Amino acid sequence: MSRRASFAWALGGLLIVGLAAWPVQVVKVRLPKQGNRLIAAIRVGSEDLVSLTYRHSVELTEVEGRFKVGPRSELLAVETRMESVGSGLPNAFPGRTVVRNGWLVVDEGRRPVGSIRFFVVPINRIRLSIADRPVDLSGLETGTLIQVAAERTHLIYWLLWSVAGLEFAR
């Protein structure tokens, strides 16, 4: 093999290793009571939203929590949107609540919330969207516990999940 070909192979190998080690932000959706099985891993940027929408089971009103991923790879509460306020619903806070397009919108101040955990309950009609991509929860049984968390990982791990379905640990 010529020197030029050897150099090209070495450079290509370094490029692959460099890309594999490149850090990326990922929001992972896991099933904690099923061996922490990974059901989604979606790359996100700093401005991408994580949206959890559900119908409140008592008031039968829509509620939407909006989150972003912070610099420390944690979910930050951005705002809570609701059609109305009532029993068991988040409260409207004076000075932080506005009415926008028929929704009461509470500014949550980008406070860290860690991970989000919730149960699948049909009456709630739960919808989860990460970076404008819906996460399919339709095949999960009633009572399934879901955990949504952000993390910084290496591009290679995310690619292994995205392309081959191989899980990566944290």
Taking only the tens place, the pLDDT of each residue in 125-160 is: 999 999 999 999 988 999 999 999 998 888 887 777
Query: Whole-structure pTM over 0.85, yes or no?
Result: no
* Among the ranges given (17-21, 90-94, 134-138), the one the predictor scored with the smallest mean pLDDT: 90-94
Determine, yes or no, domain membership for 78. Answer: yes
Residue 16 in domain: no
146-to-26, 33, 51, 101 alpha-carbon distances in Å: 16, 8, 14, 30
94 belongs to a structural domain: yes
Domain count for the chain = 1
Instruction: Confirm whether 5 is domain-assigned.
Output: no
Domain of 98 in residue numbering reads as 24-164
